[in-house]
Chains A and B, each alone.
Chain A
Amino acid sequence: MPIEILMPALSPTMEEGTLSKWLVAEGDTVSSGDVMAEIETDKATMEVEAVEEGTIAKLLVAAGTDGVKVNAPIAILLEEDEDESALDGYEVGGGAKESAAPKAEEVADKGHGRGPQDDAPKTTAADKSKLSASKASGSERIKASPLAKRLAKEAGIELSDVSGSGPHGRIVKADVESYSPAAAPAKAETKETAVPASDSTEVGAVRSGGADYLAKLGVEAGTYTLEPLDGMRKVIAKRLSASNNNVPDFPLIVDCEIDALLAMRKQLNAQAPEGVKVSVNDMLIRAAALALKAVPAANASFTPDGIAYHNHADVAVAVAIEGGLITPIVRQAENKGLSTISTEMKDLAGRARERKLKPQEYQGGTFSISNLGMMGIKSFGSIINEPHGMILSVGAGAPTPVVKDGELAVATVMSVTLTCDHRVVDGALGAEWLGVFKRYVETPITMML
């Protein structure tokens, strides 16, 4: 039996990805652990390793195809004792699908969840239904009539791809019937050619719709180039729009004098071991983490069922990379010294720029820092990166006239803006946190305790 290699899910939330590069060719022999392909997900590029031994018989998805659904076959592997003839009459995904469809019906007929038929070998359809179930229980309930749901299921259409015309966007029969991406995944799977780009309905829609979208807003076609959205851009658009819509946020601004901090940094770096060079940002990560530890109420996330108070300060740091940004996380930063933070950040930022971060290295976190000071920005505010309760925006430190003891003096002043999710952090709490942070920054020696 030829073995189908399926698009892997590199993180629990991954739905689709871009198959950016094949590292094997048809006819190559692979053994377990060999790197076969590179896949670009939301934010990172990951390597796909072979699990079984054999010969690559077919590459089903061309390099550079985006929007490849998780669990879609991407290649076929022949086992050692098989030759190409094993592929005769072999339909990708075909067998599994057929056996699955009638089963669903039988189950409906019986009105019971699990009949003895379900002891049959696991099928991709079963996996799929599991997937869609977990999806439905997730963030948003999709409103659809029972008939529309059944029709969509039978046609292999994802309800999330269908726009509903009923009350409050409820999907009805007519919507499913008029839904027509060339996408029908079944078709794509039976053909032993590359999965067409249309398999990713979302990407396709954006492409063809982009010109219409701009035309409606008065921008003529031909006056611009339209770049398709890559995974990262889609995530940025989706997550930050959601945050902007959902999170009632407010900014708190404070000036910090950082002359002492700069002096201490100089001292530290002069004595640091080879290869370690603490940056201002590393020190701010430490200060923020300590402030979160000191004001635990501010280290929190809003959930519909309650406020989650985090045990550790996992500080996400925005890193600009080509084509977007990513926020690798310094975990338990309150327990890490400056040199550890510095080394870790260097590694994370480096791999972020190469898009080699693992999902667990940039997903989650409890707080974020975005620093545009090195780019000369005086002060700015950021959009909360859910589920974080706060994000700190760091501006440039610049010599500024200040009044000290009634005398005019010059200090290096850095303006920071703390954007708070009002659902978890109220003004006074945010101010308290900011006060502690400022104290650490202005008396950096206390950070070393």
Chain B
Amino acid sequence: MSETSFDVIVIGSGPGGYVTAIRASQLGFKTAIIEKADLGGVCLNWGCIPTKALLRSAEVFHNMQHAENYGLSAEPSYDLAKIVKRSRNIAGQLSAGIKHLMKKNKITVIPGFASMTPGKPAPTVHVDGKSYTSKHVILAPGARARTIPQAGLEPDGKYIWTAREAMTPDTIPDKLLVIGSGAIGMEFASFFSAFGADTTVVEMVDRILPAEDEEISKMARKAFEKRGLTIKTKTQVKSVKPGAKGVTATLTTNGKDETHEFDRVILAIGIVGNTENMGLEKLGVKVERSFIQVDDFSFTGVPGLYAIGDVTTPPWLAHKASHEGIICIEKIAGGNPHPLNANAIPGCTYCHPQIASVGHTEAQAKAAGYDVKVGRFPYVGNGKAIALGEPEGLVKTVFDAKTGELLGAHMIGAEVTELIQGYTIAQKLETTEHELMETVFPHPTLSEMMHEAVLDAYGRTIHF
């Protein structure tokens, strides 16, 4: 007879759900986790990890193509099926790892789709006709790619892909249209163009990667265009019509329509929360435009019911979901965590060049009323960057001129996604420019640029 009564039930096993479940178990809660598909959710199986595997292949391929620059020779060629297989194997390996973590932490894994009915002290959870009770239910159902069927913007199983289909491509298309220039759009654009796809990226607003600092956006655009991508900003997709061999897309720029043929289309126009069929309406959970409304500590307002991760508020990032879950469960356990500070969540895009940032952009800081000091340091001034053959990029810092608080940091270039955590720690510890200046950065590393970008904000840069 399997258990049906728990302290905590977590619905969804993505990076929000499984991390929360482990923390709950660490805190002494008897915990269950419910997953309708594979453990690890989108992140491990259909998002963060498999795309990183694909992009790594693209990076190695790119380096092979430029082997001569390093005094090497190579005859680059690729096997798409093997690239995809590698990506799938890695996803599988990590999903198995989560299974092990659940076991290690004595978390009951219940496979199936969960729905809920009102109950006390928390809603009752139903999976495959079985009922489970608990003191706390934490929703972490995640999200999926947004589609707009009216404009033909939905996967057709053939030419029109979301991230999910693009992750297991049958071919490198000759001509690819990527709709949306956020992190997901740019990563796929980067991947397919690396293998020779003639790629066009369409963005509604006036710049790509609109969440990033304008200066970084601008540099990214230049870098992509240099690599042969076509970028169309202030452009909308009016319609996408599948034909015999591909699609015909009508793009509207400044009121003018253009029609282009593409072999494949990738939709990267945002996400919608997975809120359907769980019985949320009956419980009285507030859902707005597919996202569950919660307070600072993820409480939905329904006794015993919490929601974390992509199904709540932006940014829609794995590490945000994990951290939110930890705050939520620690609060439930009677701890006194600080609420999540959205401004302290780093964002990383693994296109080539990489982009990473945390906190306010320069424009956001000014709009928020700060008198700012801005520091910049270019990759070309850094010895390690030059030695790597990666002299393109920039590290930018934004400080509050009055208090020396690090308001934001924005980076583009090689390995910035691994560097950003330095600034994130600095922000979390509330260091001022003073401590950052006093910190010794190892030489020769890319991280020295992080030091220099701080020094530059105060007119003290050494190497440029």
Known: A166-B338, A173-B405. A147 touches B431 (CB 8 A): yes
Tell whether, in the assembled complex, residue B434 and residue A145 are in contact, meaning their CB atoms are under 8 Å apart. no
CB distance from B297 to the nearest CB of A (A): 14
Which residue on B lies nearest to A171, using beta carbons? B430
CB of A132 closer than 8 Å to a CB of B: no
Tell whether, in the assembled complex, residue B458 and residue A147 are in contact, meaning their CB atoms are under 8 Å apart. no
Interface residues of A in 131-179 (CB under 8 A from B): 145-148, 150-151, 154, 165-166, 172-174
Known: A109-B458, A111-B437, A165-B336. A154 touches B432 (CB 8 A): no
16 CB contacts below 8 A, A to B, read: A108-B434, A109-B458, A111-B434, A111-B437, A146-B429, A146-B430, A146-B434, A146-B435, A147-B403, A147-B431, A148-B430, A150-B404, A150-B432, A166-B338, A173-B405, A174-B338
Tell whether, in the assembled complex, residue A150 and residue B435 are in contact, meaning their CB atoms are under 8 Å apart. no
Interface residues of B in 90-137 (CB under 8 A from A): none
CB distance from A200 to the nearest CB of B (A): 27
Size of the A side of the interface (Cβ < 8 Å), in residues, is 15
Which chain B residues border A150 with CB–CB below 8 Å? 403-404, 432
Known: A111-B437, A172-B430. A147 touches B404 (CB 8 A): yes
Which A-B residue pairs are the 4 nearest by beta carbons?
Answer: A145-B430, A147-B430, A146-B432, A146-B431
Extra contacts, 19 of them, besides A146-B435, A150-B403 (Cβ < 8 A), are: A108-B404, A108-B434, A111-B434, A111-B437, A111-B438, A146-B429, A146-B432, A146-B434, A147-B404, A147-B405, A147-B432, A148-B430, A150-B432, A154-B403, A165-B336, A172-B338, A172-B430, A173-B430, A174-B338
CA distance A150 to B431 in the complex (A): 10
Tell whether, in the assembled complex, residue B431 and residue A145 are in contact, meaning their CB atoms are under 8 Å apart. yes
CA distance A108 to B430 in the complex (A): 16
Which chain A residues border B434 with CB–CB below 8 Å? 108, 111, 146
Interface residues of A in 399-422 (CB under 8 A from B): none
CB distance from B370 to the nearest CB of A (A): 13
CA distance A165 to B429 in the complex (A): 13
CA distance A249 to B438 in the complex (A): 45
Which residue on A lies nearest to B459, using beta carbons? A109
Which chain A residues border B438 with CB–CB below 8 Å? 111
Interface residues of B in 313-350 (CB under 8 A from A): 336, 338
CB distance from B406 to the nearest CB of A (A): 9
Which chain A residues border B437 with CB–CB below 8 Å? 111
CA distance A109 to B434 in the complex (A): 8
Kindly supply a per-residue 1/0 record for chain B positions 433-464, scoring 1 wherever the CB is within 8 Å of any chain A CB and 0 otherwise.
Answer: 01101100000000000000000001000000
CB distance from B43 to the nearest CB of A (A): 28
CB distance from B439 to the nearest CB of A (A): 12
CA distance A148 to B437 in the complex (A): 18
Kindly name the residue among B405, B430, B437 whose own CB sees the greatest number of chain A CB atoms within 10 A: B430
Kindly supply a per-residue 1/0 record for chain A positions 29-48, scoring 1 wherever the CB is within 8 Å of any chain B CB and 0 otherwise.
Answer: 00000000000000000000
CA distance A126 to B209 in the complex (A): 49
CA distance A154 to B336 in the complex (A): 28
Which chain B residues border A173 with CB–CB below 8 Å? 405, 430
Kindly supply a per-residue 1/0 record for chain A positions 85-117, scoring 1 wherever the CB is within 8 Å of any chain B CB and 0 otherwise.
Answer: 000000000000000000000001101000000
Which residue on B lies nearest to A151, using beta carbons? B403
CA distance A109 to B404 in the complex (A): 10
Interface residues of A: mostly helix, strand, loop or mixed?
Answer: helix
Which residue on A lies nearest to B338, using beta carbons? A165
Which chain A residues border B336 with CB–CB below 8 Å? 165
CA distance A148 to B403 in the complex (A): 9
CB distance from B407 to the nearest CB of A (A): 11
CB distance from B344 to the nearest CB of A (A): 11
CB distance from A396 to the nearest CB of B (A): 50
Which chain B residues border A174 with CB–CB below 8 Å? 338
Tell whether, in the assembled complex, residue A145 and residue B458 are in contact, meaning their CB atoms are under 8 Å apart. no
CB distance from A431 to the nearest CB of B (A): 47
CA distance A154 to B404 in the complex (A): 12
Which chain A residues border B435 with CB–CB below 8 Å? 146
CB distance from A335 to the nearest CB of B (A): 54
Which chain B residues border A148 with CB–CB below 8 Å? 430
Which residue on A lies nearest to B438, using beta carbons? A111
Kindly name the residue among A109, A147, A148, A154 whose own CB sees the greatest number of chain B CB atoms within 10 A: A147
CB distance from B456 to the nearest CB of A (A): 14
CA distance A361 to B431 in the complex (A): 45
CA distance A40 to B352 in the complex (A): 71
Known: A108-B434, A111-B437, A166-B338. A145 touches B403 (CB 8 A): no
Kindly supply a per-residue 1/0 record for chain A positions 164-203, scoring 1 wherever the CB is within 8 Å of any chain B CB and 0 otherwise.
Answer: 0110000011100000000000000000000000000000
CA distance A145 to B437 in the complex (A): 16
Which chain A residues border B430 with CB–CB below 8 Å? 145-148, 172-173
CA distance A291 to B105 in the complex (A): 62
Interface residues of B in 409-441 (CB under 8 A from A): 429-432, 434-435, 437-438
Which chain A residues border B431 with CB–CB below 8 Å? 145-147
CA distance A111 to B429 in the complex (A): 20
CB distance from A160 to the nearest CB of B (A): 18
CA distance A389 to B3 in the complex (A): 59
Which chain B residues border A146 with CB–CB below 8 Å? 429-432, 434-435
Which chain A residues border B403 with CB–CB below 8 Å? 147, 150-151, 154
Which residue on B lies nearest to A172, using beta carbons? B430
CB distance from A258 to the nearest CB of B (A): 57
CB distance from B158 to the nearest CB of A (A): 52
CA distance A217 to B454 in the complex (A): 51
CA distance A297 to B341 in the complex (A): 57
Which residue on A lies nearest to B437, using beta carbons? A111
Which chain B residues border A172 with CB–CB below 8 Å? 338, 430
CB distance from B206 to the nearest CB of A (A): 34
CA distance A165 to B337 in the complex (A): 8
CB distance from A179 to the nearest CB of B (A): 15
CA distance A154 to B338 in the complex (A): 24
Which residue on A lies nearest to B406, using beta carbons? A147
Kindly supply a per-residue 1/0 record for chain B positions 278-291, scoring 1 wherever the CB is within 8 Å of any chain A CB and 0 otherwise.
Answer: 00000000000000
Which residue on A lies nearest to B427, using beta carbons? A147
Kindly supply a per-residue 1/0 record for chain B positions 372-407, scoring 1 wherever the CB is within 8 Å of any chain A CB and 0 otherwise.
Answer: 000000000000000000000000000000011100
Which residue on B lies nearest to A154, using beta carbons? B403
CB distance from A177 to the nearest CB of B (A): 11
CA distance A174 to B428 in the complex (A): 12
CA distance A103 to B405 in the complex (A): 19
Which chain A residues border B338 with CB–CB below 8 Å? 165-166, 172, 174
CA distance A109 to B432 in the complex (A): 12
CA distance A109 to B431 in the complex (A): 15
Which chain B residues border A154 with CB–CB below 8 Å? 403
Which chain A residues border B432 with CB–CB below 8 Å? 146-147, 150
Which chain B residues border A109 with CB–CB below 8 Å? 458
Which chain A residues border B429 with CB–CB below 8 Å? 145-146
Which chain B residues border A111 with CB–CB below 8 Å? 434, 437-438
Kindly supply a per-residue 1/0 record for chain A positions 203-230, scoring 1 wherever the CB is within 8 Å of any chain B CB and 0 otherwise.
Answer: 0000000000000000000000000000
Kindly name the residue among A146, A165, A174 whose own CB sees the greatest number of chain B CB atoms within 10 A: A146
CA distance A146 to B404 in the complex (A): 10
CA distance A147 to B404 in the complex (A): 7
CA distance A145 to B430 in the complex (A): 6
CA distance A165 to B437 in the complex (A): 27
Which chain A residues border B404 with CB–CB below 8 Å? 108, 147, 150
CA distance A173 to B407 in the complex (A): 13
CA distance A199 to B458 in the complex (A): 37
Which residue on B lies nearest to A173, using beta carbons? B430
CA distance A111 to B454 in the complex (A): 14
CB distance from A432 to the nearest CB of B (A): 49
Which residue on B lies nearest to A144, using beta carbons? B430
Which chain B residues border A165 with CB–CB below 8 Å? 336, 338
CA distance A174 to B404 in the complex (A): 15
CA distance A150 to B338 in the complex (A): 21
Which chain B residues border A151 with CB–CB below 8 Å? 403
Which chain B residues border A147 with CB–CB below 8 Å? 403-405, 430-432
